[in-house]
Structure 1
Amino acid sequence: MQLQHLAARGHRRVALAIPARDTGAFGCARVADAHRAALELGLAPLSVVRVSMEPDPRTRNETVRALAGKTNVTAVAALNDDVALAVLAAMARLGYRTPEDLAVMGFDDEHQGHLWEPTLTTVRIDTAAYGRRAARSAVNAAAQGWTEAPSEIVQRASA
């Protein structure tokens, strides 16, 4: 859903931002789904970037500087709102504008996204449905497969 939203706004080169730490089975499935969606939408192959979530911002700043300043990437689809807000914070520290220099979109609609400036565009999810999806996958991924869980775009200023 993130990539569809960004593609509809003209973005063709998107980076997928994930935490630098291990994201587990759910994160791996989200990355695989994103690669498939990019292919189906005719986007350039996704760049996957690992974003440091540590208190020291230096590594995160370097990651964002490389994305915003040295690539053709025009948007970031983050694994979750925490990662998206970490990207937005680094952009603000470095003087980049959102969405003019780099659009950023979160996933899960955590409450702090509407408090940031610019406010975070995100995907609101049905957490219970996602929990059932993850449980089915853990029990028998081959038989159940991944099914879409109810979600909606929350359009705000960042993408």
Structure 2
Amino acid sequence: MDHSVTPGSTTRGKQRPPSQADVAALAGVSSQTVSRVANHRPNVEPETRDRVLSAMRMLGYQRNSAARALTLGRFHVLGVVTFDIAAQGNARTLAAISRAAQAAGYSVNVVCAEAQTEDAVQQAVRQLTDQAVDGLIVIEAQILDRRGFDISSGVPVVVADGDPERCFPSVDTDQAAGAIAATRHLLDLGHRTVWHIGGPQDSYAARRRAAAWHSTLKEAGAPVPPLALGDWTAASGYELGRELAARPEVTAVFAANDHMALGLSLALREAGRRVPEDVSVVGFDDVPESAYFAPPLTTVRQDFEEVGRQCVALLLDRIDPPGGQRAGTEPVSVTPHLLVRSSSTRPPAAGRA
């Protein structure tokens, strides 16, 4: 009588989950190799890794995450705290973090804090650490800019788009470089000056963009118009655009995000001001729809994919430091790029510098 055991069964006929030994037998490798593949260790030949992964899929093998966490002291889960998940930048950064984490073999737990207060952040951090995470990423948290703020969770923290005091390792788009490129582009076209619709002043990114716009005009010897403040929405860009449209001296506007640029463009058209023949418009972000605005929007493209990859890479380096030494808190800066489309051109003769 044949008493051999096939994967997923026992000699008593009861079903059991396939084991690492079953995968090893099918793939023709050792159990240690299966463990290295399951734990995303790098020291496995690509062909061998593919063979093991194929065997896992054939057998329906599932890693025992609880046992793995006890063995390695790792849960392979990253926590993310964000504050306005509907905001374009936050949503795209979160999506990029999720993709980068998945590629590294980690899952992501997200908590959206109700407000940017110390209590709200502490509560979100406690909620995530209670779920057992290996590290935390906090997106656009101005509250963390305070040196006195303390995250006493005992897990590594990385901040995306924030933390000017560098209390924590951070990753961000070079907001100043993007704003300088946008402002310089309009000046180089011959506009006497550039008006700016800024974002809310509780946003670190908005403050940096406005400061760079201001300094670029000063350095160029151009007049500095009053700063108009929106709230990132197309509606605020539209309301401010109605005011700017009534000023004949306005020939170029840099909006701190694409949605406000959209509202601005509509207000200009309704007032009989053509874009770009009468007023050039430049945005920031490069939302997927910006290439289909009427006209297509000149904008500064943020590489959210790279921000997400860098956040995850920086956090993993702090979870498992190479050589056992954690790096310092030097920020990682991701360079944005100006995309010139049809919404910007030379000014009408009366508005040239």
Which bin holds the TM-score, normalised by the shorter protein? 0.7 to 0.9
Find the counterpart in structure 2 of residue 136 from structure 1.
none
Q: TM-score, normalised by structure 2?
A: 0.37
Paired letter, 2:185: H
Pairwise mapping of residues 24-39 of structure 1 onto structure 2 (< 5 A)?
Answer: 24-39=203-218
Paired letter, 1:13: T
Matched, 1:16 2:179: no
Q: TM-score, normalised by structure 1?
A: 0.75
Q: Classify the secondary structure of the residue corresponding to 2:289.
A: helix
Q: Classify the secondary structure of the residue corresponding to 2:262.
A: helix
Partner residue of 1:2 out of 182, 185, 189? 182
Residues 103/23 of structure 1: CA separation in 2 closer, same or farther (3 Å cut): farther
Partner residue of 1:50 out of 200, 221, 229? 229
Deviation digits for residues 21-77 of structure 1, max 9, x if unmatched? 54512211221121111112222114311346668x6x7555323312325221000
Pairwise mapping of residues 1-159 of structure 1 onto structure 2 (< 5 A)?
Answer: 1-19=181-199, 21-51=200-230, 61=238, 63-127=240-304, 128-129=306-307, 149-159=334-344
Deviation digits for residues 101-143 of structure 1, max 9, x if unmatched? 211000111111111111101111223459979xxxxxxxxx9
Q: Classify the secondary structure of the residue corresponding to 2:191.
A: coil
RMSD: 3.0
Higher relative contact order (CA 8 A, sep 6+): 1
Q: Classify the secondary structure of the residue corresponding to 2:254.
A: strand
Give % identity.
30
C-alpha contact 1:17 1:79 (8 A) present in aligned 2: yes
C-alpha contact 1:81 1:106 (8 A) present in aligned 2: yes
**Following TM superposition, by how much is the alpha carbon of 1:148 offset from its aligned partner in structure 2, in angstroms?**
6.5
Separation in 1 of the partners of 2:341 and 2:205?
26
Residues 80/121 of structure 1: CA separation in 2 closer, same or farther (3 Å cut): same
Where has structure 1 moved over 4 Å in runs of 4 or more?
A: 52-55, 59-62, 129-133
Separation in 1 of the partners of 2:282 and 2:308?
19
Which of the pair has more CA radius of gyration? 2
Paired letter, 2:213: A
Residues 132/94 of structure 1: CA separation in 2 closer, same or farther (3 Å cut): farther
Separation in 2 of the partners of 1:49 and 1:10?
22
Q: Classify the secondary structure of the residue corresponding to 2:224.
A: coil
Separation in 2 of the partners of 1:130 and 1:26?
16
Paired letter, 2:258: D
Paired letter, 1:155: V
Separation in 2 of the partners of 1:115 and 1:76?
19
Question: Structure 1 stretches of 5 or more lacking a match?
Answer: 134-142
C-alpha contact 2:284 2:299 (8 A) present in aligned 1: yes
Separation in 2 of the partners of 1:130 and 1:72?
41
- Comparing 43-52 and 29-38, the one that deviates more: 43-52
Residues 70/130 of structure 1: CA separation in 2 closer, same or farther (3 Å cut): farther
Question: Structure 2 stretches of 5 or more lacking a match?
Answer: 1-180, 312-328, 345-353
Separation in 2 of the partners of 1:131 and 1:17?
30
